[in-house]
Structure 1
Amino acid sequence: MAKKQKAWIHVGMPGAGDVVEPALAHHHAALVELGVASLAHSPAESFRAAVEMTRSHKDWGLKRGDVEGQWSRLVRRARKTRSDIVFSQPLLAAATADQVALLVDALAGYQVHVVLTTGLDDETPAVAQWQAACRKPERLHVIETDGLDPAQVWKAFGKLVGFGTASLGLGSVPTASATLQTLPEALREVERLARRNASLEVRLEELDRKRRKLKRKLNSAA
């Protein structure tokens, strides 16, 4: 019997674990070569998928149509690689049991693992919500980030999933400033701004799509 491919979902509380999402997107091409396909190729893609699954589009000033179907599209694209798949987004920490179940439904055929990185907030509610998604207790993994810098968290995450991080450095990966990581309120503000920037990027992409569509119409009418 063929071994099931794995789907790794990273649910990060605000803190050093925030590095995982942008690092996965930044290194997605290299990761495929290592047998791991990142669902998102940019922070905007992961943000849009998490907003869709948590039904929080209104909170970010977006329309339902801006995010509709994003999660399924990312999963379908990643399936084509026939690799293990991985996804990270801090917004998933707030997902309800029903939202978690809906997200996991799209991963039919995969053995689902959840990796939760601890941070500034209490992770107990997130653990409870995601435990059921794993089906077996040993598929829920917790990385304690207290005392770890982002590079150490990234290395620990890679070890769990099954890829080395020696050639996947963080030097060119945009992340929250490490100098703020001992200031809880500052970290929350940085995380909020990062999500807001992703929201703006989604809107800019939609405006650009409409601009190109209008340009085609004008060219065809000329």
Structure 2
Amino acid sequence: MAKKHKAWIHVGMPGVGDVLEPALAHHHVALRELGIASAAHSTAESFRAAVEMTRSHKDWSLKRSDVEGQWTRLVRRAEKSRSDLVFSQPLLAGATLDQIALLIDALAGYQVHVVVTTGHEDDATTLGRWSTAVRKTERLHLLETDGLDDAGVWKAFGKLVGFGTASLGLGDVARPAPAVDSLPEALRELDRLARRNASLEIRLEELDRKRRKLKKKLREVA
């Protein structure tokens, strides 16, 4: 039997390790050359998939059709590379057991590993729920982030997954809104605003698609 590729799912926590999501998307081409398939090629893609899985589209003023099937599409695209898959999105930290099971269903061909970054009071709760996603306890990883800057978190994550980050700099990677650890409410609000920006990007993509469709119709009429 052929050895299964690994699927590394980073799920925590909002405000901690947020650099991983944009870094993976920004470097998806370079990562592919290193044998790692970033499921998302943009933060809009990863956000859309997480919203679909957590059934939170209404919270972000999106329609169900805006996100329907996004996670499966990302997984299927990554499968074509025949390599390990990696995905990061903070919204997944709040996924329910049923939502986690649904997300894992699409990864039937992979050996699933879950990575949770530390830094919040509910680390244990998140770890408990996401432990159901892995078949063996050694595939549930707690990534310590205390004392690490973005580059340190990125390097530690790369070491865990199996890729070096020396040539994958963060200089051109768009950062999410900064978190304020001592003010939980402020942290959640900053995260909400960052994700709101991503939802607006999705809506702009839809408007652009409609514009191109209308332009095509006008050419046909002419």
Fold match by TM threshold 0.5:
yes
Q: Which residue of 2 aligns with 1:77?
A: 77
Unaligned runs of 5+ in 1: none
| 1:99-114 → structure 2 map (5 Å cutoff) | 99-114=99-114
Give me the whole-angstrom Cα distance separating, in 1, the residues matched to 2:213 and 2:92. Answer: 33
Structure 2: segments with no counterpart, 5+ residues? none
Q: 2:183 is matched by which residue type in structure 1? A: P
Structure 1 residue 177: Cα displacement: 6.2
The size of the alignment, in residue pairs, is 221
Q: Which letter does structure 2 place at the counterpart of 1:11?
A: V
CA distance in 1, matches of 2:160, 2:34: 14
Verify: 1:28 aligned to 2:28, yes or no: yes
Does the Cα contact within 8 Å between 1:10 and 1:116 map onto a contact in 2?
yes
- TM-score, scaled relative to structure 2: 0.95
Residues 145-187 of structure 1, C-alpha deviations (whole Å, 9 max, x = no match) = 1221111111111011000011111111111466x55553444
Determine the C-alpha separation between the residues in 2 that align with 1:183 and 1:42.
30
Deviation at 1:2, TM superposition (A): 2.2
Give the superposition deviation at 1:215: 1.1
1:201 equivalent to 2:201? Answer yes
Counterpart of 1:135, as a letter, is R
Per the normalisation by structure 1, the TM-score is: 0.95
Deviation at 1:83, TM superposition (A): 0.8
Is 1:184 aligned with 2:145? no
CA contact 1:16–1:150 (8 Å) conserved in 2: no
Partner SS state of residue 18, structure 1: coil
RMSD over aligned CA atoms reads: 1.4
Corresponding residue of 2:128: 128
Q: Following the alignment from structure 1 to structure 2, what is the Cα–Cα distance between the partners of residues 175 and 198?
A: 12
Contact (CA 8 Å) 1:14, 1:119: kept in 2 or not? Answer: no
Q: Match of 1:86?
A: 86
1:125-152, Cα deviation, whole Å (9 max, x unpaired) = 2111110111110000001212211111
Percent identity between the two aligned chains = 75
